[in-house]
Amino acid sequence: MKKQIMEKKYKIKELKESFNGLYTLAHQLADEGWITFNKNILKLKDYNGKTVAHYMVEYGFTDFKDFEILSLADNNGWTVAHELVKCGIKFNDKNILKLKDNNNHTVAHIQAEHGWITKDEELLKLKNNKGLTVAHIIANNNKDVMFLNSDILNLADNDGWTVMHSLARNKYIFTQPNVWNISTNENNVSIAHVMIYSSGYTFKYKKILLKKILLQKQQEDLPAWFLKFGIIILNSHSLSLSFDTREMIIEAKLIKDIYKTVPKKFNKFKTEKMRKYNNFYKTLNILIKKNIKLINMC
């Protein structure tokens, strides 16, 4: 169906006529599918600052190329270009991609949310007010993407969540131990925690045991022998830890004399017979789960 052009039927003065200060006749017509190529009409704003151009895009008109029109913004800084990307249009012009709203959320952010990928480091580093970068969004939305530049991987939002966290959440496995302990600010969620939660990855390296295993809030309330037992676990070469999504599971392997640290009231669990070790540690594991949790589990 052929689009009707406003200025062919209405005078410019009529199109600018306001209805109670809320919107103009041009806005109303645009909302009904009419179009205009007159810049002065396209720039008219309603009470929210939305232009006639915004209305036209919302109705389905996507043939805007002029940067002046694309950069028109409403009261929230949301531009015509933002609206076009939301409707599926993609841009390559960096000047357009860097257009931002009042929250510094750029056209590139929106485009990345719709599956767009770029290797341009300047664009990848664009941050909104929450510190969220374009790289974060691309890492969140694309399982096959991997950034090689450490400057990009270490980009962090205001909560300390890095691009590596986002990649790990998408089941990427980081094999370098030096990145496992990189953590967020408040919740102290490490790369290791995200890998465990998202992909079920199991760590069997002693270094990862140095993470804070005992809840800080409960340390003072825990029995001394539990604290002692926790320290022994951390320093034991004969234990490996695997983590469930919410709690710690201990797999005892070739345990020597750790069971001697258990207080006398649990003596009934002790045995020198190797065949009963499994039941002993299964019971002990239940006790540990009741008193020890991972401080940083997602």
Q: What is the CATH number of the domain that holds 39?
A: 1.25.40
In angstroms, how far apart are the furthest CA atoms of the chain? 99
Predicted local confidence at residue 283, as pLDDT: 53
Per the structure, the complete domain to which residue 132 belongs is given by 102-201
Last residue of a domain, one of 154, 170, 201: 201
Domain count, the chain: 3
- Give the 3-state secondary structure of residue 249: strand
Q: What CATH number is given to the structural domain containing 175? A: 1.25.40.20
Q: Do 108 and 166 sit in the same domain of this protein?
A: yes
Last residue of a domain, one of 176, 201, 226: 201
Q: Do 80 and 110 sit in the same domain of this protein?
A: no
Task: Give the pLDDT means over successive 10-residue stretches in the chain (298 positions).
Answer: 86 92 95 94 96 96 96 98 96 97 98 95 97 96 88 95 94 85 82 80 48 38 40 36 33 38 46 46 50 36
Global confidence as pTM: 0.68
Q: Do 228 and 165 sit in the same domain of this protein?
A: no
Q: Do 108 and 84 sit in the same domain of this protein?
A: no
Q: Do 172 and 232 sit in the same domain of this protein?
A: no
Q: What angle do CA 38, 42, 46 make, to 5 degrees?
A: 145
Last residue of a domain, one of 145, 172, 201: 201
Q: Show the tokens assigned to 34.
A: 């009419």
Predicted local confidence at residue 211, as pLDDT: 41
225 C-beta neighbours (distance < 10 Å), count: 13
Predicted local confidence at residue 282, as pLDDT: 54
Predicted local confidence at residue 17, as pLDDT: 93
Asked if residue 211 is part of any domain, the answer here is no
Q: Do 153 and 78 sit in the same domain of this protein?
A: no
